[in-house]
Amino acid sequence: MRRRHPGERVGPFRHRIHAPQGARIREMIETWARSVTFEITEKLPNEIQDRDADVWELLITIADAVGGDWPKRARVAVALITEAKERDPSLGVRLLADLKSIFGVAQEMPIEANLRALHALNESPWNDLKGKPLNDRGLGQRLRQSEIKPKVLTEIASGLQARGPK
């Protein structure tokens, strides 16, 4: 599932309108599922493990049972999953992982402390993003993509407020 792009229009789901069509599709799937018997015969690549293996093993088995070009398409998808696992994570995923390690058991941390810790990480990209280190504005923009927003954490004696992700 993905987020809707700005300007993209999506028709609303209306139960009274769409439920009958969904019920027909469900009945067709149930009828098909009762009519076929198949065994799981193919072993997945060793790189596909845990939750991915639980999902893909069944999908490949169903693709084999359906036939046509589905078996080939399912195996191409498995190859893509394997390849994706070998790649470096996106900057967004990397940022969340780095912040998780920085936070440890802490529940909150000021933005300035987050930035200092991110910049201090070895082999991290946070000191040089497009020729500049990650700043508070860039951190906020990147975290908003994950629906993380800063909140006022504490009142400092001088009357200033510290902000940070919470």
Are 66 and 95 contained in the same domain? no
Kindly tell me if the per-residue pLDDT of 162 is higher than 90.
no
Residues 127 and 80 in one domain: no
Residue 145: which residues within 8 A CB-CB, separation 6 or more?
92
Would 18 be classed as within a structural domain? no
* Residue 100 belongs to some domain of the structure: yes
95 and 141 fall within a common domain: yes
Show which of 87, 113, 144 is a domain's final residue: 87
81 and 122 belong to one structural domain: no
Lowest mean pLDDT among 4-8, 25-29, 154-158: 154-158
Q: Please indicate, yes or no, if residue 113 is contained in any of the structural domains.
A: yes
Within this chain, do residues 62 and 98 fall inside the same structural domain, yes or no? no
Q: Which of 105, 101, 93, 94 is nearest to 117 (CA)?
A: 101
At 23, the pLDDT band (50, 70, 90 cuts) reads: very high
Domain that holds residue 67: 38-87
Verify that 144 and 103 share a domain, yes or no.
yes
Residue 129 pairs in a beta bridge with 132
The DSSP secondary-structure symbol of 151 reads E
In the predicted structure, residue 156 carries a pLDDT above the cut 70 = no
High-pLDDT (> 90) share of the chain, %: 19
Distance of CA 39 to the CA centre of its chain: 31
Q: Name the 3-class secondary structure at 150.
A: strand
Per the structure, how many domains does the chain have?
A: 2
Average pLDDT estimate for 6-11: 87
Give the pLDDT confidence score for residue 31 in this predicted structure.
93
Residue 1 CA to residue 101 CA, distance in Å, equals: 27
Q: Are residues 98 and 160 in the same domain?
A: yes
Condensed to tens digits (0 to 9), the pLDDT of residues 93-146 reads 889 989 888 888 777 888 888 899 999 988 888 988 888 899 988 988 888 888
Question: Is there a single domain that holds both residue 82 and residue 115?
Answer: no
Lowest mean pLDDT among 6-15, 40-49, 74-83: 40-49
